[in-house]
Amino acid sequence: MMRVGIAADHGGFGLKQIIMTELRAAGYEVVDFGAFRAEHDDDYPDYIIPLARAVAAGDVARGIALCASGVGASIAANKVPGVRAGLIHDGFSAHQGVEDDDMNVVALGGRIVGDALAGELIRTFLNARFSGSERHRRRIAKVAALDLPSFSSAMDGTASNSRGVIEKR
């Protein structure tokens, strides 16, 4: 079964506990990146960044990032090269984000999404598979190129045109 990482600050802590129980019961191997207790003054990057690094390194196949709204968790996770996190509130985005965009981290708001919906969205996310189509790979490569230091584009023969589209020179 898939190895899944999960992390939350105090705003997502209660939801994290529920989700971990459900995932383990379904046979997933769950790696908990914290928080390990609800502390009102903790900071989501302290938990989300280690989760995102584990996803990027392939130590876990997918990640679940939780905070009060899901916004901060999504922003933090997306700062790690190789992570494609999406803030999800609906079933279509939960599978389409994986199928078209190879989303590897789902972000949810513990104060926004109820327990039952969160479980449904996470199951949808974990069951979805990347389509691998050429057009989706091309788009993902253009986004991944943004992770490169700005000087490297001059070194590797790529440039952005006037519309910001990455092209080979």
CATH no., domain 3-127 = 3.40.1400.10
Distance of alpha carbon 98 from alpha carbon 49, whole angstroms: 20
Q: Which of 67, 80, 112, 113 is catalytic?
A: 67
Percent residues over pLDDT 90 in the chain: 85
pLDDT digits (tens, 9 = 90+) for 74-113: 999 999 999 999 999 999 999 999 999 999 999 999 999 9
Segment 114-122 mean pLDDT: 97
Pairing of strands 3-8, 62-67: parallel
Q: Residue 37: what pLDDT?
A: 95
d(CA 79, CA 42): 19
pLDDT band at residue 158 using 50, 70 and 90 as cut-offs: low
Sorted by where each begins, the domain ranges of the chain are 3-127, 134-168
pTM of the model: 0.87
Query: Is residue 61 within 8 Å of 83, Cβ to Cβ?
Result: no
**Residue 67 known to be catalytic:** yes
Model pLDDT, residue 147 = 87
pLDDT of residue 154: 44
